[in-house]
Each structure stands twice: as structure tokens, then as C-alpha cells.
Amino acid sequence: MIDFRLDDEYEALRKTVHDFAQNEVAPVIGGFYEREEFPYDLVARMGRMGLFGLPFPEEYGGMGGDYFALCLALEELARVDSSVAITLEAGVSLGAMPIYRFGTAEQKERWLPALCAGEALGAFGLTEPGGGSDAGATRTTAKLVDGGGHWVINGSKSFITNSGTDITRLVTVTAVTGTKPDGGKEISTIIVPSGTPGFTVAPKYSKVGWNASDTHELSFDDCRVPEENLLGSRGRGYAQFLSILDEGRVAIAALSVGLAQGCVDECLRYVDEREAFGRRIGEYQAIQFKVADMETRAHTARLAYYAAAAKMLRGEPFKKEAAIAKLVSSNAAMDNARDATQIFGGYGFMNEFPVGRFYRDAKILEIGEGTSEVQRMLIARELGLRS
């Protein structure tokens, strides 16, 4: 029997996050967005709710849940605001998850409790200037010195979320640590604590959207960290982060669904109030059809990420399903944001209305954590097609 209904535990979580988003995030987030200010108080409250610890075991201060629980929380947050949602998504799936998946017992004990509590944030240093989607073109280097006692890191990373807040405690970076027998790059991942000499966080970017989230370029100039800060096996860094990105794509799909559904929510309220030519605009078939298409996109995209999450939780290969979910959901978010802005007319172009924020936030969903073109490439490969 196929049943897409959420069980009681998932539904209780969804409702709790929904109420938090509607009652606590929605009334204030517009101000943070226009001031381009990080919402520390909201993040702290999300930490106290246990959202940053959702998929982690209780022994590390987590909630003992799973990745689908995180996705449900992301969807509900993004129905109101994507900056808050991406702060949670990056903090969990990119900041804490690599340590949980690949860290030593000592690394987990040192870092995870504060990350799970939302008292600290971790960041994921993969993308480099000029690298873009070609993550294998890593130029940042890390060399062992002092007889193997320390790594010395040199290079830079770009577009790194949660990397420069007052509560950021670490960035995990990919770096070339040697040469493979076949002549290729040996890429490893290394934990760099915030404040380490030689680690510089550039001023925040001026962004089109996600204006209440934190994004910076990072540079490493003879940045020295202990050898034991290696995360996982030496030379496995690229493979480790590819697996992290597969999971992250399901999370970004959930966030995208939230934005798409938020556009529907806002339009339903607006078309019931706005009048034109003597009638509420929701009575016009042209508007009804547009809203119906928006709901169809959100519904279809939700099923896609549910399917990907189900395979992930069963321990089955889910790379193709994650790519499909990310592609379909980000397209739905972009299309719904465009249609919502059109329905709102001139008001949709004003930042005081949520759909204006949604429109500015939607485009990055077709780029971050793998562009739409990369998703199509992955799907084709999983179908057995090779170039």
C-alpha cells in the first residue's frame, strides 16, 4: 500500500515549524532582509527548538530524527523566508553533517554538541573563484609540515554560507594534499576553526537575494592547523563531499518546494482581497489557471523530494532521485515566483510584499549545490548515457 501521509511524529514537527515560521519569522524577517542583517535571535530560537540537531543522535545533543525531518522543517521555513531556511540547511547538511559522517570520535565530541544546539555554525568550503561547478578543479593546497604535525593551507573559497557570523566556529575546506598514482589530484578535507591565523573572512557579498543569510569569500595564507584536523581519510575528500552534496540536494529541493508553496499561499490571500474591474481578481479564470499551475508545480516537486528522501532513508542509491528532485523543485520555485510577482502586479515588485523577496531568492536555487545543468548531467549519467 502506498501512503504519502505523514505519520504523527513528522506531522507534529511540521506543524510546530509551520507555527514558528508564521508567527515568529514572518512578522520580522522583512526588516532583516532589507537591512541585510543576520537574524541571530531567530537562529537561537531555532536552536532551542532542536532544529539544528534534527538528524543527529541524542549522544551529540541531537534530536535523534532523520534527514526527512530536516526536509520538512526546511519546507515550512521557506514558505515564509529562504534566508532563515538556508541558514538551517547549510548549518546542518554542510556544516555539521560532514563531521558526523566522516569525523573521528574526538572531532564529533568536540564540535557536534554546539552545532546541534544552534549555538555554533559550521560552513562548507568547496567552491573556489573561477571553479564554479567544476569542484574537481580545486587549487587550494594543504601541505604537511613539522614532520607531519601540521597542515599549512593556502588558497581561497567563494560563496560560502554561514562562514562569517559571530557564531561561526569552523569551516571544513577541500584542499589538494598530494598527487594520486595516476597523476590526478589527491583532494582531502580539513577542519579550520574560526580565528585561526592566516584564515581571513572577506566582507560579506552584496547579493541579489538571501539577504538575511551570511555569505563570504574566504582566503587561507599559510594557515596552520593540526594534522588531526583532517576530516575522514586522506585523499577521499572529493568523494566525501560528493556524497554530502547528494544529501544536500534533497534538502535544497525541500527548501525550493517551500518557496514554491509560499508563492501559492501569498497569491491565495491576495486574489481574495484585490479587486479589478469591479470583481475580485480570484474570480477571473486567467488568474485561477495561473494559481492552479503554481499549486501543481509545488505538489509535483514535493512528491519528487519525498521519493528521493525515502530512498535515502532506506539506504538505497538515490543520486538520480536527488538530482531529479533538485531540478524539478528549483524550476518550480523560479516559475512560481515569477507567476506570483505577475499576479501581484506592481506590488509584486515591492520588497514590502513577500513575493518580492521570493522572486529575488528563487534564482539561486537553480544554481547553488549544483546547477540545473549539473543535475541534468547527473540524471543522464545515472541513465547510462556517457559523453
Answer for the pair 374, 133: CB distance below 8 angstroms, yes or no: yes
Q: Which residues pair with 94 in a beta bridge?
A: none
Answer for the pair 247, 66: CB distance below 8 angstroms, yes or no: no
Transcribe 26-88 into DSSP letters. Answer: HHHHHHHHHHT---HHHHHHHHHTTGGGTTS-GGGT--S--HHHHHHHHHHHHTT-HHHHHHH
Catalytic residue among 76, 247, 366, 369: 369
- Joined together, the cell numbers standing for residue 253 give 529541493
Answer for the pair 275, 281: CB distance below 8 angstroms, yes or no: yes
* Residue corresponding to grid cell 584536523: 229
CA–CA distance, 143 with 161 (Å, rounded to integer): 26
Active site residue 76: no
Transcribe 257-291 into DSSP letters. Answer: HHHHHHHHHHHHHHHHH-EETTEEGGGSHHHHHHH
Answer for the pair 136, 9: CB distance below 8 angstroms, yes or no: no
Q: Which residues are catalytic?
A: 369
